[in-house]
Amino acid sequence: MKRVQDKVVLITGAASGVGKADALLLAAEGARVVLGDIDRKAGQALATEIGANALFVELDVAEEEHWQRAIDQTLAQFGRLDVLVNNAAICPLGTIEQTSLQQWRSVLRVNADGYFLGCKYAIEAMKQNEHGGSIIMMSSVAALGGLAPMCSYSSSKGAVTALTRNVAIHCKNSGYRIRCNSIHPDGIWTPMTQALVPDLDPAALGIGDNPMARMCMPEDVANMVLFLASDESRFINGAELRIDNAQMISGIAAGTPTQFKSEQQ
């Protein structure tokens, strides 16, 4: 059985990394996917790879008119919106002492403003659906434990986590049948992470080989996204779901990971 057969899913940051893994898996499971990204070339290439059940939309998540256009294009092409995956993010390094106001604002613009706008316009579209919808927020263990070298990023993901709870209870109280949950990975081996830790020991990857591994693959996150997009998770709402191989409860994630070097961006 296709787990998300005919569901219409809008994914931000869909051209690479976790967003791309989400799109490929959801499409394989029967979804019609709308690929939102600022990378037009990679986004269109992925849409071509997936085929008729994919639509690329150019989407800067921090621009309100981009969201309005993306939702309009989604409804025009597929008739409704069932799932939003708020995934796009940026992750510069910098402690509280090193982070400039400019960096702080640029990160919050994408990682917080962008998620707020996504929720706002997705709710407007989804509340018309008989069966509601699912909003999936990509947060981080940084929102729960704090990562010293990532001041602006950690703070933005904290905003995402609080927004998730707010959206979940608002939609429940409004009778919209729209669920909202956050996913909290530790490290994910994506182009963004690879740029931060180019010399990462391969032993940090692959939980099957190393029980202490703290880096997962994009597909590990995509499997959680698939579950939250499907009706299998119909009673999960307002939850914080960690994908971290018990890193948070080990206490290590609350400190400074050795593989991240704090530096001014």
Active site residues: 153
**What is the distance between the alpha carbons of residues 140 and 185, in angstroms, rounded to a whole number?**
5
**What is the distance between the alpha carbons of residues 18 and 15, in angstroms, rounded to a whole number?**
9
**What is the distance between the alpha carbons of residues 218 and 253, in angstroms, rounded to a whole number?**
19
**Strands of the chain, DSSP E:** 8-12, 32-37, 54-58, 83-86, 133-138, 178-185, 187-188, 215-216, 240-243
Place of tokens 């219409």: 8
Q: Assign 141 to helix, strand or coil.
A: coil
- Of 115, 228, 132, 130, nearest to 166 by C-alpha is 115
Point out which residues pair with 11 in neighbouring strands.
Answer: 35, 85
- Of 163, 131, 162, 110, nearest to 229 by C-alpha is 131
Q: CA-based angle 258:261:265, to the nearest 5?
A: 155
Q: Which H or E run contains 84? A: strand 83-86
**What is the distance between the alpha carbons of residues 8 and 115, in angstroms, rounded to a whole number?**
18
